[in-house]
Structure 1
Amino acid sequence: MSTLTLPRWFARTRSAGSAPAPSRASLRIGVPRVLNLWSTHQFWMGLFGALGVDPRNVVFSSDTSEEQGRQFGKGRGTVDCCYPVKCISGHYGELLFGQKQKLDVLFSPMIYTLPSFMSGHVARTLTCPRVMAAPENIKAGFIKERDVFAEAGIAYAAPFVSLDEPRLVPKQLFEGLRNVVPGLTAAETAHAVDAGYTALAAFNARLRRKSREVLEWCARENRACLLVLARPYHMDPGIGHEIEVDLQAYGYPVLWVQYAPVDDDLMAWAFGEDIRAGIVKSAFDIRDVWPSSYSSNTNEILWGAKFAARIPWIACVIRLSSYECGMDQPTYTPTQQIIERSGTLFFSFQDLDSTKPAGSVKIRVETITHYLDKYAADIIAKKKATAAAGCPLYAATA
């Protein structure tokens, strides 16, 4: 029989009030549905699934809403002019106080770099520093007077993670999760990270395939579609206010730049002339319009403008941006110029905040659809006339 050492002797036993750690299968993990989780959620689902966590026990908070903020985030706010960051308090509060079945972990990663289809073609794929640091910023509102996490018996995990640097991620996540996932090892963390990347790649490929099908349909029917240039979290109905949904209700298909098709044949057709002329080195090179290519979401927005300008059936581009977004403001003019010089319609909804201005949005949507109804056919015809021959989108129509 082993002899009890002093630390073991004085350690609190289960009968003294501590509960046994839950098994991985029963571990309940809460994830706030915010910021860059909108484009990386499948990575985390793949990761936790590979670690033995039941997918049904990975609980995402609901979409952002003013009611969520009032009910769960009141008094927890921190000073920040960025609404997508400020609203995280409501998501944290909902996960802490609004669950019928208690969570074991609140997981809110600090994502430093993002996996992007532009990796290797731009300088970096960094996230906004305000967005990256948001988990710790918002956490402060829940520990400023007392530690709400400790009182609720919920562990808090906010690992710093560089998702565009896969060789670093296993070490980063092992350090960040070892205290909340029972028996975690470095080897299985590495395996789970691989599973996460596989799940994310499969999800992205599926949506890109759907986007290509939409463009092929537009080419076949000679119909117009719209492209949304925005950050991933503008897909949140409480932040982007479903403006693209209002537009789609008028019968126009809507694509998002994050899931634009990037097939080799389409890229060669759209950007081949610029590559051969030495203007850019690849289809994803944006140095001709944006030399400071460090921010992942900004890079994709600028590339999306170039993509829209070259695809005849993208007759209109919608730009969404949140109030006082310092990352977006320098891109307004170049984005608009790229799009309008191609003859494509451009409309922007800037300074979006917590409240949807329903009346003005309705008027803007009606204006956009009026211009599309009136000019889309001419826009498509003019862009087709200047496009390179042999568009691969026609292949599906044969």
Structure 2
Amino acid sequence: DTSEEQGREFGKGRGTVDCCYPVKCISGHYGELIFGQKKKINILLSPMIHSLPSILHRHVVDTVTCTRVMAGPENIKAGFMKEHDVFADSGVVYASPFVSLGDRHMVTAQLHSSLKDIFDLDSGETERAVLAGFQALDSFTAKTRQQSREILAWCAQNQKPCILVLARPYHMDTGIGHEIEAELQAHGYPILWLQYLPGDDDLMNWLFEGDIRKGRVKSPFDISDVWTSSYSSNTNEIMWGAKVAARCPWITCVIRLSSYECGMDQPTYTPTQKIVEASGTLFFKFGDLDSTKPAGSIKIRVETIVHYLAKYSQDIIQQKLNWLSPKCPLPMAPQERTPSSTVVPAETGAVVVAGETPAAERARHSQLGV
């Protein structure tokens, strides 16, 4: 995992990127692999990934990666070759093949041309390795999506809320995402990650039935109604995740994570918030995350989020259910309209005003600095 200590010890003085914190972190990882291992490595493989597999494949224009992340391996490599070639001096072969994981038919040729001499590979060996890799990826993705569906099924059966994290994959790294979702999970709220939302036809058709019937979208995975420039894989999925969250009854809160000065994220801040909040779903953003973990402010934010979840979740669940068909594909408890309970953590200093809407209360608390 990424850590501030790792960057200081192994990446100091090797920075070549000034505006993308996750890419900066690669320096620390490279340095630790070269200098921090008891058993020396022979090859450092760090591919330049051009495109990604995506649940939205064929429903969007493309699924390419962020250009800074794609070029990251070569940028960071330069930091280890400024005065001399650290890789050669350490007896490490550096390999950075250009690979399009979103276009599977191209991957074997791309990897074989780049790695055949390094690993002494023939085309058959490369093809079998690529096949095994994609099988492992598909198996993991399917298993994780199924676990996410089971979480939603539990929430539906027990009429309990859960939280969706809208973020890029690298925010799962505890040193980049600062385990903010773990802080919330400790309060008893299940966590779903955008990347592993269930995409089962029965569930998606139930959530988007009205939109499809009215011709707003062609399928549950169509984001053209909110994002026409659908080239970036992770950006596309963030927009789609916001749409799912706005419709799914048991996702009563969305947590948006973004790293310091992320140019790819900035155009999505307002659209995602508007989409999520259009259905009354709670939305909170942790932006400009970098190497420093502000534990105190995160704790206050978490307590505030927990307050809103406790106060409004049951109303949000019921409101969304009223908008959807009663033919829910998930097992549900008998529906009874019950008033939502109010729990106010003492540490937040939150004040409850009777009849106040979530948006009005958040605005008031913002003015109070809560």
TM (norm. structure 1) is: 0.83
Q: Deviations over 1:254-291 (max 9, x none)?
A: 00000000011111111122122221111111000001
Q: Which residue of 1 aligns with 2:243?
A: 306
* Rounded Cα–Cα distance in structure 2 between residues aligned with 1:322 and 1:244: 15
* Rounded Cα–Cα distance in structure 2 between residues aligned with 1:235 and 1:285: 26
SS of match in other structure, 1:179:
helix
> For structure 1, which segment, 72-81 or 119-128, has the greater mean C-alpha deviation from structure 2 after superposition?
72-81
List structure 1 runs of 4+ shifted beyond 3 angstroms: none
Q: Which residue of 2 aligns with 1:77?
A: 15
Q: Which blocks of at least 5 consecutive residues in structure 2 are unaligned?
A: 335-370
Contact 2:151 2:190 survives alignment (8 Å): yes
Aligned match of 2:280 in 343, 352, 359? 343
Q: Which residue of 2 aligns with 1:110?
A: 48
Q: Which residue of 2 aligns with 1:100?
A: 38
* Rounded Cα–Cα distance in structure 2 between residues aligned with 1:64 and 1:121: 34
Q: Which residue of 1 aligns with 2:300?
A: 363
Contact 2:33 2:41 survives alignment (8 Å): yes
Change (3 A) 1:396 1:268: farther
Aligned match of 1:139 in 59, 77, 91? 77
Cα displacement (A) at 1:179:
2.4
Is 1:321 the counterpart of 2:258? The answer is yes
Q: Deviations over 1:305-355 (max 9, x none)?
A: 000111100010000000111100000011000100111000000111110
* Rounded Cα–Cα distance in structure 1 between residues aligned with 2:10 and 2:273: 38
Contact 2:255 2:286 survives alignment (8 Å): yes
Cα displacement (A) at 1:168:
0.8
* Rounded Cα–Cα distance in structure 2 between residues aligned with 1:278 and 1:64: 45
Q: Deviations over 1:173-216 (max 9, x none)?
A: 001211221x3001221121111111100000000000000000
Contact 1:125 1:296 survives alignment (8 Å): yes
Is 1:237 the counterpart of 2:170? The answer is no
Q: Which residue of 2 aligns with 1:277?
A: 214
Letter in 2 for 1:90: G
TM (norm. structure 2) is: 0.89
SS of match in other structure, 1:245:
helix
* Rounded Cα–Cα distance in structure 2 between residues aligned with 1:388 and 1:297: 30
Contact 1:225 1:255 survives alignment (8 Å): yes
* Rounded Cα–Cα distance in structure 2 between residues aligned with 1:395 and 1:365: 29
Aligned match of 1:209 in 132, 137, 146? 146
Is 1:195 the counterpart of 2:122? The answer is no
* Rounded Cα–Cα distance in structure 2 between residues aligned with 1:79 and 1:257: 27
Aligned match of 1:250 in 151, 173, 187? 187
Aligned match of 1:171 in 109, 128, 133? 109
Q: Deviations over 1:293-312 (max 9, x none)?
A: 00000000000000011110
* Rounded Cα–Cα distance in structure 2 between residues aligned with 1:151 and 1:330: 43
**Equivalent pairs, count:** 334
Q: How does 1:118-137 map to 2 (within 5 A)?
A: 118-137=56-75
Q: How does 1:214-225 map to 2 (within 5 A)?
A: 214-225=151-162
Q: Which blocks of at least 5 consecutive residues in structure 1 are unaligned?
A: 1-62
Cα RMSD (Å) of the superposition?
Answer: 1.2
Change (3 A) 1:79 1:202: closer
Q: Deviations over 1:125-149 (max 9, x none)?
A: 0100000000000000101111111
SS of match in other structure, 2:49:
strand
Question: Identity rate of aligned residues, in percent?
Answer: 68
* Rounded Cα–Cα distance in structure 2 between residues aligned with 1:394 and 1:287: 31
Cα displacement (A) at 1:394:
1.8
SS of match in other structure, 1:394:
coil
Contact 1:324 1:351 survives alignment (8 Å): yes
* Rounded Cα–Cα distance in structure 2 between residues aligned with 1:300 and 1:93: 32
Letter in 1 for 2:265: D
Contact 2:158 2:332 survives alignment (8 Å): no
Cα displacement (A) at 1:389:
2.0
Letter in 2 for 1:202: S
* Rounded Cα–Cα distance in structure 1 between residues aligned with 2:170 and 2:221: 22
Contact 1:68 1:91 survives alignment (8 Å): yes
Is 1:330 the counterpart of 2:283? The answer is no
Q: Which residue of 1 aligns with 2:98?
A: 160
SS of match in other structure, 1:319:
strand
> For structure 1, which segment, 287-296 or 266-275, has the greater mean C-alpha deviation from structure 2 after superposition?
266-275
Letter in 1 for 2:80: F
Aligned match of 2:313 in 369, 376, 382? 376
Cα displacement (A) at 1:221:
0.4
Contact 1:216 1:396 survives alignment (8 Å): no
Cα displacement (A) at 1:79:
3.3
SS of match in other structure, 2:118:
coil
Letter in 2 for 1:293: S
SS of match in other structure, 1:393:
coil
